[in-house]
Amino acid sequence: MSTKVFRLSVRNDDSLLGWLTSFFNVPGLFGSIPWQSENCIGVDCADCLAAAWSKWKKRPLDKDWNVAGIVSAWPKVKEFDIADGVPAGEIRWSTDAKPGDFIAVRYAGRRQYQHIGALYADANKDGRLGPEDWVMHAGPEALQVSPLKGGNFEGHVAIIRAADK
């Protein structure tokens, strides 16, 4: 697809999550590359977050990030297990997890992390990360907002503070 194709993207605001909203309706494309992400041709879970982060930070997207690469290179805040959307132990919004933090999952029996999204909101306003709270993530479908319980985040997770990268 030519870069001369016109695409209008609208974002909520100038925050990381705001930039991430500009990727709604960009097709899901597993194994996408930075050129495809930057030109809104197709994104997977990691490339969508990396492209939004680079636009937010006003930095070029310097490499093709995958989930395992983000988890190993970016600052982790917490690690814990999730079952049925419920974290093992109490994870507090505003200290342990913040809107815009990335959440990556390593599924049972796997060695590497396979999926990643961005924490979006404490949906039930109880101050604790739980099954009803919202996550933004892509792949294999386009970017969507879903509850933590329904977003394929069952397993060992890492919270990554994207703002600190």
In total, the chain counts a number of residues equal to: 165
Q: Among candidates 134, 62, 142, which has minimal Cα distance to 97?
A: 134
Dihedral of alpha carbons 163, 82, 18, 98, sign: negative
Q: Is residue 8 part of a domain?
A: no
What total of structural domains would you count in the chain?
2
Residues 42, 71 within the same domain: no
- Of 6, 30, 57, which closes a domain? 57
Q: Is residue 79 part of a domain?
A: yes
Domain that holds residue 26: 16-57
Q: Among candidates 124, 117, 107, which has minimal Cα distance to 159?
A: 117
In tens, the pLDDT along 107-136 reads 999 999 999 999 999 999 999 999 999 999
Q: Is residue 38 part of a domain?
A: yes
Check pLDDT > 90 for residue 36.
Answer: no
Q: Is residue 9 part of a domain?
A: no
Dist CA 119 CA 145 (whole Å): 10
Task: Answer yes or no: are the C-beta atoms of 129 and 91 closer than 8 Å.
Answer: yes
